Structure 1
Amino acid sequence: MSSYRRPNQALRGLLGEAGMSAAELAAQVNAIAAENGLVLGYDRSTVAHWLSGTRPRGDATALVVEALSRKLRRSVTLTDAGFLPAPGGGEDTAHGSAASSHEDRDEDAARSLGQLATWPTGHTASRGRAERGAPFRLAALRLPPYEQIATSPFPTGEPPEGARVQASEVQGIEAMARVFHHVDITFGGGQGRRALVAYLASDVRPRLHRPAAPAVRRRLLTATGELAYLCGFMHFDDDLQGLAQRYYLVALRLAAENGSRPDHAVALRALSVQADALGHRREAVRLAESAAAHVAGPHLRRAFVYGQLAVAHAGEGTRHEALRALAHAETMIERAGSAQDTPVGAYHHASLLHQQGVVRLRLGDERGAAAALAASVRHRPADERRARALLLADLARLHLRARRLTEALEVWHRFLDDRSALSSGRVDRAFADMRGLLRPYSRHPSARALLDRAARTSRVREPFRPPAGR
């Protein structure tokens, strides 16, 4: 860590303005880090070091300003918090300051794809730095209305130059979207995530700067938006939430630039799913409602959006609204014809059953939830291995809560069958959760057999713990 001679009076002032104690700031920073799969053990003594002039290690500065921004309900920058650039152009200034100095949604999409490719995106520290890409930012979810985004001037960036983009090039990008979609659902977000980041930055982004016929341009923006959405979801699945959010915002921006309300709705839905998963229930409902207000097109696309609206309302405990949205999703899927052949927004009966299970669980119907999740597993397409594994983990947990140990163990064995081929932070967490839940039953012969089998499988990736320091 780097130390300064002068106490950090700016940080002390912000703590006073926010009405936060040193212990409260440390706890909030730890919680925001946990959203991104980073395990920190900061306490009030850590904050005391910061107040004395010690600079947090690595990109932890971005976590501190995000904690303060959430508490104060306004944007706080590194400079506001007294975190001046580290001596000699320190290691964390490039990303930390950029993350807090402007709203990601206002960036040019092509520029964002290039910048995002420079972020650390792995499960280990890059050159020993204590970072996992970027913090999830609540302020970035305060989005203006679609009409304002779609009609506002876009950053001009570089003028179009080079050869005109041909339709065949866009066809190649569309084909790659299908490839990455298949890899994601079958092998997990960690399998092809880095490859997709590189493909977006090196192959797709330059084409956004080249001239194109209007119809080709629209297809290019649609295909790029789909890839940005997929890249966001792969980061979400691998517990890199800050980067996931930024790719979703790129997809949102591309949809607005393309004048596509349906794609805009899909990106809003993704942001709602993420907010809900991280426990930001109110934001999840607001985003899902906005998505439902803009969704159009095929019935399955509408069901895709309204199913998430039902889940979000159930998370808030608004029973009537949740059941009404779920009924609308059910109606839409009944009216739909054949399944969609799309890498983004694909929806089918197993998807609806999954959402029914989540809604019922959140509304207190555990028996109905278990029945819906089991039905979703039965109807799940064979190649959707990651979704099936997560469903099985949830179903086993419900069996155990109902004291159906035999059924829980049977389902967890099926979970292990799928897990062996998956690279997914969410699946890793489900695996760790399984072991924790079964510890009290470790003397039960069947439970012991399952735990022994789990111990023989490939080692789960542990949450990243940075090197010791402040």
Structure 2
Amino acid sequence: MSSYRRPNQALRGLLGEAGMSAAELAARVNAIAAESGLVLGYDRSAVAHWLSGTRPRDNATALVVEALSRKLRRPVTLADAGFLPVPPGRKDTTHGSAAPFREDRDEDAAHGLGQLATWPTGHTVGRERTGRGAPLRLAALRLPPYEQIATSPLPAGGPPEGTRVHASEVQGIEAMARVFHHMDITFGGGQGRRALVAYLASDVRPRLHRPAAPAVRRRLLTATGELAYLCGFMHFDDDLQGLAQRYYLVALRLAAENGSPPDYAVALRALSVQADALGHRREAVRLAESAAACVTGPQLRRAFVYGQLAVAHAGEGARHEALRALAHAETMIERAGSTQDTPVGAYHQASLLHQQAVVRLRLGDERGAATALAASVRHRPADERRARALLLADLARLHLRARRLTEALDACHRFLDARSALSSSRVDRAFTDMRGLLRPYGRHPSARALLDRAARTSRVREPL
């Protein structure tokens, strides 16, 4: 039996308002999906089906409204785009407020953690595959400066209920933050990410609703913010960009609730790193500048923020601003003298050298970038296996571009050594890129041996 489909006039109207063709919308949807590691092949014929009334499959609706939002420079919802009905039991929240601080009364950090635990984020493999399409929302990066947050009280959640939170409970959460941090840097974001999602939702979130002494409450918010940050980074490392952003925004909200400018700056920095990695250079600079404007506290924490500001400026080609921010980071790390023991915002000489390498590369100094990368690998702490692998992949790429095959092959072998124990989409992507770059050298015996080794260790990692 044939069914009647009503043409999607709302979507057609948005396309006209945006001045976009069907082919351009399809290309933009594919590009946004690629930010989360998805390879889609939509074309103008797919958009024609949507215009005729067919609803895009799976989470493609979120990709479509994000593409329209970015083009129109305003939030577009599923309802705006004519993608109704929304699945039962779910609100049309594809795009909420432009900032995470102008939500309904119930939209506090605890509520956000509970909502995120229900998203397709690794509880089952099947759900994970669809959740990978959740896009980064550019509109959500239009964030208020900390000064505005400090003078505008945030909407509160419900009154505290239950027994008081004891300091020993917070000590347990702080200890878990160190455990998840070590797991992440050593084994990659795909290892333990689902456990952290569950821990935040089931163990930590209920404590946010319970009464606590002011000092205990501050420690609880700080520890929860660190875990939300780590959860965001683990999603980022595994190319789950939309969910990574949402956890970062929860960390930002917790810092605001806690009245902590340094933690607010660290969350802004994380959003800047993510925006920069996905090619949103202007947003990366703006977020890094906002972070630098409110960061206070230890010199290493400030260097952590200013190093990212240098990277972001270099991405825009702003040489003077990039070198000035990098000089600030260098001065601060020299003044600090000792390292930090913290699961969030840790910064050391290897971190600075990596940022120096990125800045030099973006400003056209490839040889200087290679030197800094090699030094960063040497100074990298032994347990930072993922960082070492990614640095070696970048170093191999630079050596190949300079036709230094021997050095490139050495870096590639060391990369393969580190990769074996890692569960990280970023590392997997670097592995695929490395094999592609080496194929033109396939007749060289040493390169052939490396390609053979890579083939033996090749694996398609199931999302965790």
TM range (shorter): over 0.9
Q: Quote how far apart the aligned CAs of 1:337 are.
A: 2.2
Deviations 1:236-284 (A, max 9, x none): 1111110000000000000011000000000000000000000000000
Deviations 1:388-415 (A, max 9, x none): 0000000000000000111101110000
2:455 matches 1:452: no
Q: In the alignment, what sits opposite 1:328?
A: 328
Instruction: Give the conservation status (yes or no) of the 8 Å contact 1:232–1:244.
Output: yes
SS in 1 for 2:131: coil
Q: Distance in 1 between matches of 2:102 and 2:262?
A: 27
Deviations 1:331-368 (A, max 9, x none): 00000021000000000000000000000000000000
The answer to which of 392-401 and 129-138 deviates more is 129-138
Identity of aligned residues (%): 90
Q: Quote how far apart the aligned CAs of 1:91 are.
A: 12
Q: Quote how far apart the aligned CAs of 1:455 are.
A: 1.1
Q: Quote how far apart the aligned CAs of 1:41 are.
A: 0.4
Return closer, same or farther for 1:67/1:439 CA change in 2, 3 Å cut-off.
same
Can you give the 5+ residue segments of structure 1 that lack an aligned partner in the other structure?
464-470
Q: Distance in 2 between matches of 1:336 and 1:139?
A: 36
Return closer, same or farther for 1:105/1:126 CA change in 2, 3 Å cut-off.
farther
Instruction: Give the conservation status (yes or no) of the 8 Å contact 1:55–1:83.
Output: yes
Q: Quote how far apart the aligned CAs of 1:102 are.
A: 8.8
Deviations 1:96-129 (A, max 9, x none): 9999999799931100101111111249862597
Q: Distance in 2 between matches of 1:440 and 1:92?
A: 49
Instruction: Give the conservation status (yes or no) of the 8 Å contact 2:75–2:95.
Output: no
Q: In the alignment, what sits opposite 1:23?
A: 23
Q: Quote how far apart the aligned CAs of 1:196 are.
A: 0.4
Q: Distance in 1 between matches of 2:109 and 2:149?
A: 13
Return closer, same or farther for 1:84/1:49 CA change in 2, 3 Å cut-off.
same
Instruction: Give the conservation status (yes or no) of the 8 Å contact 1:62–1:99.
Output: no
SS in 2 for 1:2: coil
2:143 matches 1:143: yes
Q: Quote how far apart the aligned CAs of 1:451 are.
A: 0.9
Instruction: Give the conservation status (yes or no) of the 8 Å contact 1:302–1:329.
Output: yes
SS in 1 for 2:94: helix
Q: Quote how far apart the aligned CAs of 1:434 are.
A: 0.5
Return closer, same or farther for 1:305/1:99 CA change in 2, 3 Å cut-off.
closer
Q: Quote how far apart the aligned CAs of 1:149 are.
A: 2.2
Q: In the alignment, what sits opposite 1:43?
A: 43
Q: Quote how far apart the aligned CAs of 1:69 are.
A: 0.4
The answer to which of 199-208 and 142-151 deviates more is 142-151
The answer to which of 409-418 and 150-159 deviates more is 150-159
Q: Distance in 1 between matches of 2:105 and 2:436?
A: 39
Deviations 1:195-217 (A, max 9, x none): 10000000000000000000000
Q: Distance in 1 between matches of 2:33 and 2:71?
A: 16
Return closer, same or farther for 1:101/1:265 CA change in 2, 3 Å cut-off.
closer
Q: Distance in 2 between matches of 1:15 and 1:74?
A: 14
Q: Quote how far apart the aligned CAs of 1:158 are.
A: 2.6
The CA RMSD over aligned residues, in Å, is 2.8
Instruction: Give the conservation status (yes or no) of the 8 Å contact 1:393–1:430.
Output: yes
Instruction: Give the conservation status (yes or no) of the 8 Å contact 2:77–2:94.
Output: no
Q: In the alignment, what sits opposite 2:319?
A: 319
Q: Quote how far apart the aligned CAs of 1:95 are.
A: 10
Instruction: Give the conservation status (yes or no) of the 8 Å contact 2:75–2:98.
Output: no
User: Stretches of 4+ moved more than 4 A in 1?
Assistant: 1-4, 86-106
Deviations 1:273-326 (A, max 9, x none): 000000000000011011011111111111100000000000000000000000
Aligned length: 463
Return closer, same or farther for 1:105/1:291 CA change in 2, 3 Å cut-off.
farther
Q: Distance in 2 between matches of 1:53 and 1:209?
A: 44
Q: Distance in 1 between matches of 2:128 and 2:431?
A: 27
Instruction: Give the conservation status (yes or no) of the 8 Å contact 2:300–2:332.
Output: yes
Instruction: Give the conservation status (yes or no) of the 8 Å contact 1:78–1:100.
Output: no
Deviations 1:5-58 (A, max 9, x none): 100000000000000000000000001111111111000000000000000001
Instruction: Give the conservation status (yes or no) of the 8 Å contact 1:225–1:255.
Output: yes
TM-score (ref. length: structure 1)? 0.93
SS in 2 for 1:96: coil
Deviations 1:57-115 (A, max 9, x none): 01110110000000000111100000111577799999999999997999311001011
Q: Quote how far apart the aligned CAs of 1:233 are.
A: 0.5
Instruction: Give the conservation status (yes or no) of the 8 Å contact 2:313–2:321.
Output: yes
Return closer, same or farther for 1:389/1:206 CA change in 2, 3 Å cut-off.
same
Return closer, same or farther for 1:120/1:191 CA change in 2, 3 Å cut-off.
same
SS in 1 for 2:423: coil
Instruction: Give the conservation status (yes or no) of the 8 Å contact 2:121–2:128.
Output: no
Return closer, same or farther for 1:3/1:80 CA change in 2, 3 Å cut-off.
farther
Instruction: Give the conservation status (yes or no) of the 8 Å contact 1:221–1:258.
Output: yes
Instruction: Give the conservation status (yes or no) of the 8 Å contact 2:230–2:344.
Output: yes
Q: Quote how far apart the aligned CAs of 1:442 are.
A: 1.5
Q: In the alignment, what sits opposite 1:95?
A: 95
Q: Distance in 2 between matches of 1:81 and 1:97?
A: 17
Q: Quote how far apart the aligned CAs of 1:157 are.
A: 2.6
The answer to which of 64-73 and 118-127 deviates more is 118-127
Q: In the alignment, what sits opposite 1:408?
A: 408
TM-score (ref. length: structure 2)? 0.94
Higher relative contact order (CA 8 A, sep 6+): 1
Return closer, same or farther for 1:70/1:54 CA change in 2, 3 Å cut-off.
same
Instruction: Give the conservation status (yes or no) of the 8 Å contact 2:60–2:133.
Output: no
Q: Distance in 1 between matches of 2:238 and 2:286?
A: 25
Return closer, same or farther for 1:145/1:88 CA change in 2, 3 Å cut-off.
closer
The answer to which of 436-445 and 305-314 deviates more is 436-445
Deviations 1:412-452 (A, max 9, x none): 00000000000001000000000111111112211111111
SS in 1 for 2:174: helix
Instruction: Give the conservation status (yes or no) of the 8 Å contact 1:60–1:131.
Output: no
Q: Distance in 2 between matches of 1:274 and 1:351?
A: 17
Q: Distance in 2 between matches of 1:450 and 1:353?
A: 28
Q: Quote how far apart the aligned CAs of 1:150 are.
A: 3.1
Instruction: Give the conservation status (yes or no) of the 8 Å contact 1:62–1:100.
Output: no
The answer to which of 189-198 and 115-124 deviates more is 115-124
Instruction: Give the conservation status (yes or no) of the 8 Å contact 1:76–1:100.
Output: no
